[in-house]
Amino acid sequence: MSDAGEGRRWIYRHRLTVRFRDCDAMGHVNHAVYFTYLEQCRLTFWRDVTGTPSPHTRVIIARAECDYRAPAHFGDELEVRLRVGEIGRSSFTLEYAIVDVGTDRQVAIGKTVMVSYDYERGTSTPLPESTRALLDRLQAGLGPGS
């Protein structure tokens, strides 16, 4: 996974402490747990920005990726950073970096492709204008109401 958005700043940061249950027999955070960390960041981000756990539209995750860079261990304090990546007709990408707060070491990078979805029809649907406008502002590093 390339970090094509490297020049864009992170617009949201979510801190968490690695729990004992997050670790596997090798003593480091299990690979699947990183997706939960991304989810925690994403849901608190939307709640802070919109007051709900979504971006003004019903979305599904069409793709989730995580590249592991360094291990994290029980008790580590991590910061999950988020920014808006590409915005399409019916989808948008969120990009993440997980960083060890104590060492500033990058632990993982990830991304999720979110698709605006009509559950009744079972198909994707164009992003509502209000959602597109919100994403454009966030991608530019502006606040949700700027």
| Confidence (pTM) | 0.90
Element containing residue 87 per DSSP (H, E): strand 77-87
Could you tell me which of 124, 113, 56 has the C-alpha nearest to residue 86?
113
1, two tokens:
């996974």
**pLDDT for residue 120 is more than 50:** yes
> Which sequence spans correspond to the domains of the chain?
12-139
Rounded Cα distance between 142 and 131, Å, is: 14
Fold of 12-139: Thiol Ester Dehydrase; Chain A (3.10.129)
Q: Which has more confidence, 52 or 113?
A: 113
Could you tell me which of 66, 70, 65 has the C-alpha nearest to residue 100?
70
For residue 69, the cross-strand partners are none
Number of H helices, E strands in the chain: 2, 6
pLDDT of residue 7: 66
- Region 74-81: what's the mean pLDDT? 98
pLDDT of residue 49: 87
- Region 24-49: what's the mean pLDDT? 94
